[in-house]
Amino acid sequence: MSITPPTLATAPAPTTNPLREGLRIERTPAPCAMVIFGASGDLTHRKLMPALYDLAVERLLPAGFSIVGFARQDMSTSVFRAHMRDAVTQYARRAPLDEAIWDSFAAGLTYVRGDFTDVHAYDALVAELERLDRERGTLGNRLYYLATPPEFYGPIAENLGRCGLQHGPAGSWQRLIVEKPFGHDLNSARTLNNTINSIFDEQAVYRIDHYLGKETVQNILAFRFANGIFEPLWSRQYVDHVQITVAESLGVEGRGGYYEHAGAIRDMVQNHMMQLLSLIAMEPPIELAADPVRDEKVKVLRAVRPIQPALTHRFTVRAQYDRGFVHGSEVVGYRDEERVAADSTTDTYVALKLFLDNWRWAGVPFYLRTGKRLPKRVTEVAIQFKRAPHLLFHADTAEPMEPNVLALGIQPNEGISLKFAVKVPGPTMQLRSVNMAFNYGSAFNITSPDAYERLLLDAMLGDSTLFTRRDEVEQAWRIVDQIVAGWETAPVTELPTYAAGTWGPQAADRFMQDDGRAWRQP
């Protein structure tokens, strides 16, 4: 007797093997409704709706799954469905659009118009959710997604509480997904946490960082803890230093108003880079479950050595991009971007040297760098190992010996490479460094799911492993606030600049050279 998992009514029959089918049943959440606040925005259009449709194609959504768009824009449900069809057609991973699956998926799409701050607008939302419970069997299970500007996070949570939408029928669940940025500094993050936790229990709050949904980021855990080869070397005894690079070729792309208040330190370091740091440096958790994993990540952030204000210049570099060429096209400097002050001192490039004061990593520097208008978009973690204690081959090497480097490519080239020395064929003992590389795409011959697919499914399932906990967010802000405070003790009227299309300012190169090291060029 075969078992058919719950699915959207018109989804096609499965074509996968029984093992895959069993995994699908295990990963199918209970019936639920998802409310997207800010449903008319770019995030919904480019990421959320395509990801949800792709989950429908994979038959991972439950029967009766429903989506309620909530926004201030005046439109009908039919218009909303038409907009979402355009979004799926343009951005979904599974192309072309499957008409049968789309019709079934779209049947669960509705729209409610309302102002986020007007509690009376939520009356229509309550009525719509109750209708979905009756007609589509969503059982009172609700997922609230805050895809709005950050200033509305608190008011939306409070209005959900005033309408009683943080609770439901006995046995049901209600969860809140909050996008980044989560606060502007430690104090604002704590205030927002207090507001949200006064309405939703911490276990029901899912602070999303899409980096954690990337397959290659999750594979950091698999690579470290599933392989007996590398984990014994993952410490101060063998590692010389670690480099984490998050480079973007784009500029601020019309977000000058936001970026002026954030800069690279808040836009990238506080969230994405702290997540990568914690995954690379964490201790093995007792199990791959939400709290054990997040406990170990928080320990890493707590171990980051504070940078005293007077020493900030020794451990940080910041700069701003100037006019230059990216991918062969001339681009303007940051100060010439829209909604950017002509005398702006906002950082678009940041390099840091951090130390972790714990047993595993004592004395090992972690170099972090991120910037806009760099030569290409790339995210990489590189672990450079210490050189052999006694080099036997220095007299006859074909080229200067390079240290062993293990590089984890996060995007866009998703893979792992290991640099090591080999003998060049011939009668003499000449050595050369070579790379042994693994590429996810060619190895598995499949397209990796979008990060939002994994994260949305996990939120429906109640698995918060890949979401950040309150104390994790606050610890990351503690690190950033200390750095920003150091910068503010010695304010500047001009930042070092770097030409767009280059790898950053000369000060960043000297930053590494002073330590006898150099940045990798991913």
413 and 324 assigned to the same domain? yes
141 and 270 assigned to the same domain? no
For 508, half-sphere exposure in the C-beta direction (CA atoms, 13 angstrom radius) is 25
165 and 248 assigned to the same domain? no
137 and 269 assigned to the same domain? no
The rounded distance, in Å, linking the Cα atoms of 200 and 165 is: 10
Q: What is the pTM of this model?
A: 0.90
Is 398 inside any structural domain? yes
CATH of the domain at 412: 3.30.360.10
171 and 234 assigned to the same domain? no
232 and 363 assigned to the same domain? yes
Three-state DSSP class for 318? strand
Count of domains for the chain: 2
Q: What is the pLDDT along the chain (522 residues), one digit of tens a residue?
A: 333 334 444 344 444 444 344 444 457 899 999 999 999 999 999 999 999 999 999 999 999 999 999 999 999 999 999 999 999 999 999 889 999 999 999 999 999 999 999 999 999 999 999 999 999 999 999 999 999 999 999 999 999 999 999 999 999 999 999 998 899 999 999 999 999 999 999 999 999 999 899 888 988 999 999 999 988 999 999 999 999 999 999 999 888 999 999 999 999 999 999 999 999 999 999 998 999 999 999 999 999 999 999 999 999 999 999 999 999 999 999 999 999 999 999 999 999 999 999 999 999 999 999 999 999 999 999 999 998 876 666 555 545 678 899 999 998 888 999 998 888 888 877 788 888 998 887 888 777 788 999 999 999 999 999 999 999 999 999 999 999 999 999 888 899 999 999 999 999 999 999 999 999 988
The rounded distance, in Å, linking the Cα atoms of 482 and 309 is: 7
Is 460 inside any structural domain? no
Residue 241: phi, psi to the nearest 5? -165, 170
Is 519 inside any structural domain? no
Residue 330: phi, psi to the nearest 5? -75, 135
46 and 154 assigned to the same domain? yes
223 and 343 assigned to the same domain? yes
119 and 224 assigned to the same domain? no
What is the separation, in whole angstroms, between the first and last Cα of the chain? 53
DSSP assignment string, 196-209: HHTTS-GGGEEE--
Residue after which a domain boundary falls, among 125, 155, 179: 179
Which residues are designated catalytic?
272
- Crossing angle of the two packed helices 153-162 and 122-136, in degrees rounded to 10: 60
173 and 217 assigned to the same domain? no
CATH of the domain at 73: 3.40.50.720
272 and 395 assigned to the same domain? yes
Name which of 150, 162, 90 is nearest 122 in CA terms: 162
Structural domain span for residue 31:
18-179
267 and 149 assigned to the same domain? no
